[in-house]
């Protein structure tokens, strides 16, 4: 795992070395009025013309010291930008990731149990359409129908009123997560507004990302339904509910658990698009802005951060797998 992380940092570094020093120096510039001569001086000062390995080790040392550089798009050091943008993304992930997994498992099971009925056909069409829709288009359509036509579910993270409450007196931002802070401060208006504005982005992410889990769950459940132990259970007189829940679904879940780690990657990609469309200033939105404005420090930090999270999540998934699968647990 550590090896993979070192590899990831090398990859990110190599990619960014493709840029000329004049553009990489932006990671150290803290205002936008810099003359070419100052630029050259800074390139020399930070050694951006040094041999690549020297620069790599210096960069890693800086990372370990918590120096991530300056982000133009956040107009602040990268770490401050991160503290500001991350809670917005985390809020949406905490809200949508469980839904994606639950919807996928539920519809996949439903399709397998009622194979070749209209229900099954419906879930399969839903999956393949969800697989084929561009995230950005679905988001725009949802916005056009709900916000543009019906005037409900506006974009953004909070309304102006709520923003006044948040930055007003007597409101403590304990976690910077809107919903959680709202509950802790006993301000239900904040909770309501934050949830209200998360409806469309969540819908967008769920439709697109649950398709993979749904397909896998269906085929894995079908396989499990055809096994001998199902016959045994039926012969022993188990009713349908026990049959499906205890015997089939438990086994069918195993491959799905493996893939739910992969879902995170899709979710992060979807997050870049979803946050851009629904005007939610989170990590995804930041990444999109940084890519457009050549904000090297922010790009490097975000890629590295998301890579690290992804590696950790896959490790957790492996652990869960070992816990759930009795064959692994007992050996």
Partner 1 sequence: MHPRLREMLFTAKRFLRNPLSVIGLSLIVIFGVIAILAPVLEPPTNRDPYKIPHNGYRIEPSPPSAAHPLGTTQQQYDMLYGLVWGARSAFKIGVLVVAANLLIGIILGALAGYFGGIVDEVIMRIADIFYAIPFLVMAMALVVAIGRGLKAVIIVLIILEWPSYTRVIRSDILVTRGKDFILAARASGASHLRIIFSHILPNAMYSVLILASLNIGTTILTAAALSFLGLGSETGTADWGQIVSLCRNWIVGTPGNRFAYWYTVFIPGFVISLFVLGWNLLGDAVRDVFDPRMRRR
The reply on whether position 222 binds partner 1 by CB under 8 A is no
Of the residues 233, 257, 269, 325, which one makes contact with partner 1 according to CB under 8 A: 269
Q: Which residues share a beta bridge with 77?
A: 70
Binding flag, residue 268, partner 1 (CB under 8 A): yes
Q: Closer to partner 1 by CB, 190 or 211: give it.
A: 211
How long, in residues, is the chain?
Answer: 331
What residues contact residue 128 under an 8 Å CB cut-off, 6+ apart? 211
> CA 139, 142, 148, 153: dihedral to nearest 10 degrees?
-100
| Cα(223)–Cα(232) distance, integer angstroms | 15
**Cβ at position 108, least distance to partner 1 in Å:** 16
Q: What are phi and psi of 27, to 5 degrees?
A: -65, -15
Which secondary-structure segment (H or E) carries 55?
helix 52-64
Smallest gap from residue 6 Cβ to partner 1 (A): 9
Interface region with partner 1, contact rule CB under 8 A, candidates 39-47, 156-164, 240-248, 296-304: 296-304
| Pick 23 or 232: Cβ nearer partner 1 | 23
Nearer to partner 1, 25 or 190 (CB): 25
Sort residue 173 into left (φ over 0), alpha (ψ -120 to 50) or beta: beta
Name the residue with tokens 């998301």.
306
Q: What character string, x for contact with partner 1 (CB under 8 A) and - otherwise, covers 9-28?
A: -xxx--xx-xx---------
Interface with partner 1 (CB under 8 A): 3-5, 7-8, 10-12, 15-16, 18-19, 128-129, 131-138, 140-141, 143-144, 147-149, 264-266, 268-269, 272-273, 276-277, 287-288, 291-292, 294, 299-300, 302-303, 306-307, 310-311
């Amino acid at each position: 795992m550590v090896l993979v992380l070192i590899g990831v940092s090398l990859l990110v570094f190599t990619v960014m070395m493709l840029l000329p020093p004049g553009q990489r120096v932006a990671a150290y510039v803290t205002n936008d009025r810099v003359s070419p001569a100052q630029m050259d001086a800074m390139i020399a000062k930070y050694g951006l013309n040094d041999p690549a390995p020297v620069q790599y080790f210096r960069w890693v040392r800086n990372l370990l010291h918590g120096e991530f550089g300056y982000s133009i798009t956040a107009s602040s050091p990268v770490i401050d930008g991160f503290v500001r943008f991350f809670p917005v993304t985390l809020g949406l992930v905490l809200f949508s990731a469980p839904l994606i997994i639950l919807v996928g498992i539920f519809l996949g099971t439903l399709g397998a149990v009622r194979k070749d009925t209209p229900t099954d056909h419906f879930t399969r069409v839903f999956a393949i359409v969800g697989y084929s829709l561009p995230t950005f288009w679905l988001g725009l359509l949802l916005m056009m129908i709900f916000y543009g036509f019906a005037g409900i579910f506006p974009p953004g993270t909070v309304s102006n009123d709520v923003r006044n409450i948040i930055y007003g007196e007597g409101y403590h931002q304990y976690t910077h997560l809107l919903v959680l802070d709202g509950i802790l401060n006993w301000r239900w208006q904040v909770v309501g507004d934050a949830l209200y504005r998360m409806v469309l982005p969540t819908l967008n992410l769920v439709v697109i990302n649950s398709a993979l889990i749904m397909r896998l769950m269906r085929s894995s459940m079908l396989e499990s339904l055809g096994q001998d132990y199902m016959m045994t259970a039926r012969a022993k007189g188990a009713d349908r509910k026990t049959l499906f829940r205890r015997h089939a679904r438990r086994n069918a879940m195993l491959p799905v658990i493996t893939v739910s780690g992969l879902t995170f990657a899709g979710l992060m990609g979807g997050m870049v698009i979803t946050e851009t469309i629904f005007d939610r200033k989170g990590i995804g939105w930041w990444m999109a802005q940084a890519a457009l404005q050549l904000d090297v420090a922010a790009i490097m930090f975000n890629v590295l951060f998301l890579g690290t999270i992804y590696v950790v999540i896959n490790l957790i998934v492996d652990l869960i797998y070992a816990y759930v699968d009795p064959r692994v647990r007992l050996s």
